[in-house]
Chain A
Amino acid sequence: METRVAFQEELRELEERALQGLDMVVTSLERVMEALQHQDVELAEMVVEDDDRIDGRYLEVHQGILSLLARQAPVATDLRLVAALLDVIKHVERMGDQCVNIAKVIPLTGHEPPTDRALLETLAEMGKHAASLVEQSKRAFAERNVELAQDLVTRDEAINRLQREAFRIAIEIGDDMDTREWAMTMLLVARALERIGDNAVDIGEQTAFVVTGLFREFTDASHPANV
Chain B
Amino acid sequence: MTTQPTTEQSTATTEQAGRFAHSTVTEATGRHVAVQDLNAYYGDQQAVKSFNIEYEPNKVTAMIGPSGSGKSTMVRCINRMHEEIPGARVTGKITIDGEDLYASSVDVTAVRHAAGMVFQKPNPFPTMSIYDNVAAGPRLTGMKGGSLKERVEKSLRAAALWDEVKDRLAQPGIGLSGGQQQRLCIARTLAVEPEVILMDEPCSALDPIATLRIEELIDELKQRYTIVIVTHNMQQAARVADSTAFMLDGELIEVGPTERMFTKPNDERTEQYVSGKFG
Q: Is the CB of B278 within 8 A of A3?
A: yes
Q: Is the CB of B238 within 8 A of A2?
A: no
Q: Is the CB of B263 within 8 A of A80?
A: yes
Which of the residues A1, A7, A75, A78 comes within 8 Å of B278, measured between beta carbons?
A1
Residues in A neighbouring B265, C-beta threshold 8 A: 76
Q: Which residues of B212-263 have CB atoms within 8 Å of chain A's CB atoms?
A: 234-235, 238, 262-263
Q: Is the CB of A75 within 8 A of B277?
A: no
| A111 at interface by CB-CB < 8 Å | no
| B274 at interface by CB-CB < 8 Å | yes
| A225 at interface by CB-CB < 8 Å | no
| A74 at interface by CB-CB < 8 Å | yes
Q: Is the CB of A213 within 8 A of B264?
A: yes
Q: How far, in whole Å, are A214 and B264 apart by their CA atoms in the complex?
A: 9
Which of the residues A4, A77, A80, A214 comes within 8 Å of B276, measured between beta carbons?
A4
Q: Is the CB of A79 within 8 A of B276?
A: no
Mask: chain A, 1-38; 1 = CB below 8 Å from B; 0 = not: 11110010000000000000000000000000000000
Q: Is the CB of B234 within 8 A of A4?
A: no
Q: Is the CB of A3 within 8 A of B263?
A: no
Q: For chain B, which range describes its interface: under 10, 10 to 19, 20 to 34, or 35 or more residues? A: 10 to 19
| Among A7, A76, A80: residue with most chain B CB under 10 A | A76
| A227 at interface by CB-CB < 8 Å | no
Q: How far, in whole Å, are A4 and B277 apart by their CA atoms in the complex?
A: 7
| Among B270, B271, B274, B276: residue with most chain A CB under 10 A | B276
| Among B262, B263, B275, B278: residue with most chain A CB under 10 A | B275
Residues in A neighbouring B271, C-beta threshold 8 A: 76-77
| A73 at interface by CB-CB < 8 Å | yes
- In the assembled complex, how far is the CB of residue A215 from the closest CB belonging to chain B, in whole angstroms? 11
Q: How far, in whole Å, are A75 and B271 apart by their CA atoms in the complex?
A: 8
Q: Is the CB of A4 within 8 A of B275?
A: yes
- In the assembled complex, how far is the CB of residue B105 from the closest CB belonging to chain A, in whole angstroms? 45
Q: Is the CB of A73 within 8 A of B263?
A: no
Residues in A neighbouring B264, C-beta threshold 8 A: 76, 80, 213-214
Given A213-B263, A213-B264: A77 and B275 within 8 A (CB)?
yes
Residues in B neighbouring A2, C-beta threshold 8 A: 277
Residues in B neighbouring A77, C-beta threshold 8 A: 271, 275
Q: Is the CB of A74 within 8 A of B275?
A: yes
Q: Is the CB of B263 within 8 A of A76?
A: yes
Q: How far, in whole Å, are A213 and B275 apart by their CA atoms in the complex?
A: 15
24 pairs across A/B with beta carbons < 8 Å? A1-B278, A2-B277, A3-B276, A3-B277, A4-B275, A4-B277, A7-B276, A73-B234, A74-B275, A75-B238, A75-B263, A75-B274, A75-B275, A76-B262, A76-B263, A76-B264, A76-B265, A76-B270, A76-B271, A77-B271, A79-B262, A79-B263, A80-B263, A213-B263
- Chain B residues at the A interface, C-beta cutoff of 8 Å: 234-235, 238, 262-265, 270-271, 274-278
Q: Other than the known A4-B276, A75-B275, A214-B264, what 17 A-B pairs have Cβ atoms closer than 8 Å? A: A1-B278, A2-B277, A3-B276, A3-B277, A4-B275, A74-B275, A75-B234, A75-B238, A75-B263, A76-B263, A76-B264, A76-B270, A76-B275, A77-B271, A78-B275, A79-B262, A80-B264
Chain A to chain B: the 3 pairs with minimum beta-carbon distance, closest first: A213-B264, A75-B262, A76-B271
